[in-house]
């Protein structure tokens, strides 16, 4: 169990990258232009996270609800996703960054699925920052899938229902193997989780930035980290208990 502590650099940071469309609309551009403008902040945040000593960075790139958007925008997003997989993975590998994609991959084209597999295989043994991209991901889907897997194991006689606990469910969740999220950042001024990492954010600190994602940069990332460092994490305990432990 995680013990209360004075915050240090968060080991795991998750970001809901929101505001690409509004950024584009404010400038008279198409939504696709906004998504393209959002690529550079991704690069900047990855570089700064690695420099600050963050161990795991999870980015919410495409939710399972985003398929409801106009077909033209969805198609453009898929093309952008494929382009980034083709162009950026070698740079990640050269910088010792490990890449993992979480989400329901079956909905993606065969080409995207193949490039995901190649990217993960190429970077699998890298020991630097672990970059996780949530694509076609939903928190409820993640929990339901984990529950289904456990139910299948019970049906197969591999597991008894009485053996199912938080750790068993955690072992089946999409971020299995990654530490809990310490800090979750959301851009664009919206203050909700939007079905992102519902299980993994149980004790996360939340930081809401007013900046639209294309305007978010390394300095804004530092602001979020500094905000985190000024908080006291209690994990259900009282301030007095935490102070007594630190005495």
Residue keyed to tokens 């963050």 = 54
Catalytic residue among 20, 21, 66, 75: 66
CB 103 within 8 A of CB 135: yes
Which of 215, 221, 217 shows the shortest CA–CA distance to 185? 221
| Residues β-bridged to residue 233 | 5
Q: What is the largest CA-CA distance in the chain?
A: 59
Does an H or E element contain 42, and which?
helix 39-52
What CA–CA distance (Å, rounded) separates 62 from 102? 11
18 is catalytic: yes
pLDDT for res 243:
58
CA gap 42, 97 in Å, rounded: 14
Write down the pLDDT at residue 245: 63
Q: Distance between CA 67 and CA 235 in Å, rounded?
A: 36
Residue ranges per structural domain of the chain: 12-138+180-231
| Per-residue confidence (pLDDT) for residue 67, from 0 to 100 | 86
User: Which parts of the chain sit beneath pLDDT 70?
Assistant: 1-7, 234-247
DSSP annotation of 142:
H
The C-alpha atoms of residue 26 and residue 39 are separated, in whole angstroms, by 18
What's residue 236's pLDDT? Answer: 59
pLDDT tens-digit map of 131-171: 999 999 999 999 999 999 999 999 999 999 999 999 999 99
The answer to whether 206 and 10 have CB atoms below 8 angstroms apart is no
Count Cβ atoms within 10 A of the Cβ of residue 197 and give its class: 0-12 exposed, 13-18 middle, 19 or more buried. Answer: buried
Q: How far apart are CA 37 and CA 30, in angstroms?
A: 11
Fold of the domain built from segment(s) 12-138+180-231: Undecaprenyl pyrophosphate synthetase (3.40.1180)
pLDDT tens, position by position, 200-216 = 999 999 999 999 999 99
Q: Which residues are registered as beta bridge partners of 186?
A: 16, 208
Cβ–Cβ < 8 Å for 13, 54 = yes
Which tokens hold the place of 98? 């490990």
What is the C-alpha to C-alpha distance for residues 103 and 133, in angstroms, rounded to an integer?
Answer: 9
Listed in sequence order, the residues at least 6 apart from 44 whose beta carbon sits closer than 8 Å to its beta carbon are 217, 218, 221
Whether the full predicted model's pTM is greater than 0.85, yes or no, is yes
Is 43 in contact with 217 (CB distance < 8 Å)?
A: no
């Amino acid at each position: 169990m995680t013990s209360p502590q004075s915050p240090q650099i968060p080991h795991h940071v998750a970001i809901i990258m929101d505001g690409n469309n509004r950024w584009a609309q404010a400038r008279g551009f198409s939504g696709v232009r906004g998504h393209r403008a959002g690529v550079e902040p991704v690069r900047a945040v990855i570089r700064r996270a690695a420099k600050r000593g963050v161990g795991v960075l999870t980015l919410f790139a495409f939710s399972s609800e985003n398929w409801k958007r106009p077909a033209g925008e969805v198609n453009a997003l898929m093309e952008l996703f494929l382009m980034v997989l083709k162009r950026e993975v070698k740079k990640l590998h050269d910088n010792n960054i490990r890449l993992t994609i979480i989400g329901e991959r079956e909905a993606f084209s065969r080409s995207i699925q193949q490039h995901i597999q190649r990217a993960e295989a190429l970077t699998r043994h890298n020991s630097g920052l672990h970059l996780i991209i949530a694509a076609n991901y939903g928190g409820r889907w993640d929990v339901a899938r984990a529950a289904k897997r456990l139910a299948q194991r019970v049906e197969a006689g591999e597991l008894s229902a009485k053996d199912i606990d938080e750790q068993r469910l955690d072992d089946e969740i999409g971020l299995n193997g990654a530490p809990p999220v310490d800090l979750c950042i959301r851009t664009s001024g919206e203050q909700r989780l939007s079905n992102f990492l519902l299980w993994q954010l149980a004790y996360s600190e939340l930081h809401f930035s007013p900046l639209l994602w294309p305007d978010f940069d390394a300095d804004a990332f530092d602001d979020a980290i500094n905000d985190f460092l000024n908080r006291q994490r209690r994990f259900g305990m009282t301030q007095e208990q935490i102070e007594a432990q630190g005495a």
